[in-house]
Amino acid sequence: MSALYVAGPMSGYPRCNYSAFNQAAAQLRATGYHVENPAENPEQADWAGYMRAAIAQVIRVDGIATLPDWQQSRGAALEVHIAHALQVPVLPLERWLRDGVR
């Protein structure tokens, strides 16, 4: 089973955009992926705490599924940058859903 991390914007969105993250995670899980969803992480004191948890997830997965407007997010851009440096595939959510587990 392939493991994917969901990357997208949170800051400035109502309820931190958790509904989009949770919907994406449910769709990916239904397709057979193991999903690392940052919206399911424990509450942190600040942005740096959330990013430390997220980066720990990014380094363990086989791919990154991006949500719309991820490029507008400082955190998602950092997650994608790390994934590229580690040669981890980064594709839009729809592509992972269409292509299925590899």
pLDDT tens, residue by residue, 34-51: 999 999 999 999 999 999
pLDDT at 102 (0 to 100): 56
DSSP assignment of the chain equals --EEEEE---TTSGGGGHHHHHHHHHHHHHHT-EEE-GGGSPP-SSHHHHHHHHHHHHTT-SEEEEPTTGGG-HHHHHHHHHHHHTT--EEEHHHHHHH---
pLDDT at 15 (0 to 100): 86
pTM, 2 dp? 0.93
Q: Which fold has domain 3-99?
A: Rossmann fold (3.40.50)
Cα–Cα dist 51/57, whole Å:
10
**What are the residue ranges spanned by the domains of the chain?**
3-99
pLDDT tens, residue by residue, 52-88: 999 999 999 999 999 999 999 999 999 999 999 999 9
